[in-house]
Amino acid sequence: MADRTGKPGKPGEPGKSGKPEKGEKTRNTRQKRLILSLLEEARGPLTAGEIYARAAERQPGIAKSTVYRNLEGMQERGEVVRGRLENGESFYGAADGRGHRHYMICRGCNRMLDLPACPLASMEREIEETAGFSVTDHVIQIYGYCAECRRRGRTDGPADASSAEK
């Protein structure tokens, strides 16, 4: 990658590796703004495929690789959070002030709901105070059945990922 003078940068040099370092300013492209707005508008997290489909509706011609590349970079910089469904498929949500999110995932319909608060915040402080261990990250994904699936009697196991509510 070339810098402003046209001279190629070396991998590992800040700002010249092609991937901005955490905290380093990044370009606020139209595609990045679109992805963030889709995640903020969604009632819950979305899979990369769902994000791409919604992005293509608003911006015809957007490449799938552009969406995936933006999601990867945004996740590395803490702008979005990534989780995994039981089938291994990744899902993404807009990062909140905590820098992470936690989800309740319905095994009946794959619907993903935000856990409203981080139940480990006080535990992290206690771990640091008592054990001297600095927690840098954690993930909580709670699996079960949403009210709608329970009402319909759909509590028999994981759903196909294509049946997820959008």
CATH code assigned at 86: 1.10.10.10
pLDDT in tens, 6-60: 444 444 444 444 444 544 455 678 999 999 999 989 877 899 999 999 999 999 9
Radius of gyration of the chain (CA): 19
For 107-137, b where at least 16 C-beta lie within 10 A, e where not — what string? bbbbbbeeeeebeeeeebeeeeeeeeeeeee
Q: Please indicate, yes or no, if residue 18 is contained in any of the structural domains.
A: no
Name the 3-class secondary structure at 105. strand
pLDDT in tens, 95-136: 766 566 788 888 888 888 888 778 888 898 899 999 999 988
pLDDT in tens, 61-99: 999 999 999 999 998 888 888 888 878 888 898 876 656
- Chain CA centroid to CA 36, Å: 10
Domain that holds residue 51: 30-163
- Asked whether 107 and 158 are in contact (CB, 8 A), the reply is yes
Instruction: Say how many domains are in the chain.
Output: 1
* CA gap 111, 161 in Å, rounded: 10
Q: Please indicate, yes or no, if residue 14 is contained in any of the structural domains.
A: no
Q: Please indicate, yes or no, if residue 1 is contained in any of the structural domains.
A: no
